[in-house]
Structure 1
Amino acid sequence: MFLTKENGMRIVEEIKETIGRDVNIMDRTGTILASTDPKRIGQLHTIAKEILEQQLPVLEVAAGEEGPGAQQGVNLPIYVDGNCEGVIGITGPPDAVRDFGAIVKKMTEIMLTTMRQQEQSLLVEQARSLFLEEWLFAQDLDWAAFAERGALLDIDIREPKRIAILEYEPHGTAQPPELHGGRLLQMAQRYVQGEQTLCAVVNRRLLLVFGPEQKALEVLKQFQQAAESFYEVTLSGGLSSLSRGAEDIRRCYNEAKIAARAAAKNHTILEYSGISLDFVLQNLEPKVKADVCRAIFETVPEDEREELLECLVLYFRCEGNVERAAQSIHVHKNTFRYRMGKLAQYTGYDLRRPRDAAMLYIAMQFLDTERNSFPGGNNPQK
């Protein structure tokens, strides 16, 4: 039975506020389920039972006709989708409340229909949210059966998808983080409703799944702006590339996590494909940058450091073309190689070895911001 005490109380209180009369709702057994007169709740309403048993369209109780559980008033059956859900009764002399009957009956039926639709929609969204969590984290899925379950929820797991992870940071501590997450989830569901997007909150992160034709990044940035305007939170996040099948969604989830971490410092939203090594490196903690610079370049003599580090910068700027790098500072290419050899001798990192070259490139990214990390502070600018 859809009609509940909670729903019934919401309805009778709203109707009494409108018409100024006590109102009762009886269930399919004729028992008073909800009433603006609390002492009547739980009583058997004999008139309502008669309406239900004889399928009467209306039954009035006049003065002197009151019986067990029944007072003066007008009582009418209430229907939702053709099914009788119970009876609505308005307390008072029939001549005084009769005109309210049809209106109250219609109001009740509309409110019940709306409540049922809202609850059904909520149940579907909860099912879709749980489906998404299982898709991302469950072990040993039967993918064929899982695809069939998805179809029942209007989710095609074989279609390419993009995962977005949004992290939210409340501005204050007045409200619990869970409340922020629930509100943001509801807003996301409404905001991207037309996009048929999957939404869930997992570990204080908002997860969204987009289809291949959706303008995901544009939608995310619009949602970010709207959410930050309405709620006291700061949003940042990451967006993955397209999946290549149902099982590939977990790779996309990891991509979105990486992009979200990179975006957190600047409170922005980044696509995984748009994250460069330079971006990741520059978003490391300042202490890490300083430590890397010291570990690699501190052994270079101060009187040679500026010249050798200038050559290192030019080497990478010219993409490893020694001749072009040498020409840019008007020296012979052999002189340039000699300087690179000295840098390798001092640091222990040789540009001819790929792993060493990678470490030198990483350390080079920090030269501008960490120029004061060494005695003398004479590091070159990139």
Structure 2
Amino acid sequence: KALSTILEETKSYGSTSSSSGATTKSSIFNNHTNKMGTISEEHNSYLAQNLMANAALRSGLLGNFMDFEAPQSPLEEMTAAEPTMPMQSSPFESPIRQIPAPAIVQPLDQAPSDPFKTSLINLLLERVAFPGPHVYGYINLHYNPRISIKKEPINIGNEKYIVEKQLGKGTFGTVFKALDLYKNKSVALKYQKPPNKWEFYICRELLARLAEHPLRDNFMDISTGYFGDQVSVLVSDYMPGGSLLDLANTYKLKSGKTMKECLVIYFTAQMLKIVQAMHEVKVIHADIKPDNFLVYVLPNYTVGLQLIDFGCSIDMTLFPNNATFTRRVTTEDFICCEMLDGRPWNYHTDLFCIAATTHVLLFDTYIKLRKQDGLWSITQRFARYMKADLWSIFFSDLLNQQSG
């Protein structure tokens, strides 16, 4: 029942998505409910997997791979404990500000084939009267700030930061770790050229739509956005635990093995719940991968995930009901089967990318696919010790979300 509980808890995907994407299965997780119920009791429940993951953390299984010291409590004490919640909010306090109601905008009359087109994004930003209700923390600059690593403070708007190191660099932007001198806390600065107003909008809309949701803090929050005419700087919490990809790589480097299966199940459950919450408020991330889930550790040593990088996200409330798209993305190893088949897609891309991310954790390799008798499957073979029946169902459901 290891994945039975995970999949059962997420069976509402279908009914949720059907209101905004009719091509999605009525429930991608319902097909094998009876079959999964017959799987032997030796397969632990989600709660048991949670306990195992935290027990492993306490015993140093994950503690050795993350930037903190695991306590020396015996496993028996951990497994005897009864957690109050299987998933908990992130350790970062939500900003002290009034969260506005979500933007209310008349959707377009027709869905475009390409939801990522720059001209469309600009049109949608005008349609929502950006920044709309999300003016708190939105700062319009009359100059384009420059960021470099140095000991002296730099000024961005009215704030001062000491930029300590570069965390990552992409085609259009760079992420730095910095010290916010006013708040005396470490932050991440995402420097982008050209400016990315869309990511600010999506993150603020998610915060507004999930204001009362227990998983609200499992989504990146942009506390401040600085916008010049050529550059933007987005300020968010700094997460010292790194990403799921960092954790998987470090785990393999230090242990010589792939991540323990119970931990993969635990992280997969978290990813499913986070993405389910996002889809319920009609947002598609569209760039889910192990680099975009950051890992954090609560004071009680529960491990959690936070989803970041919403620059490619799609707000389905701005399109007609049941809108689908045909644009094929070019992110290698994260192209959903609907795109490979030339079929329309919407929420499918996120669910496929959860499968692709789980594949990285489980096998330490990116997903490779084959199609036989009209069905997609992974080419990787399961090790003898793995719960092959459960994983087969998991990958089959997420790779084959539409018939035909």
Q: TM-score, normalised by structure 2?
A: 0.23
Structure 1 or 2, whichever has the larger Rg, is 1
By relative contact order (CA 8 Å, sep 6+), the higher-ranking structure is 2
Would you tell me which structure has more helix in proportion to its own residues? 1
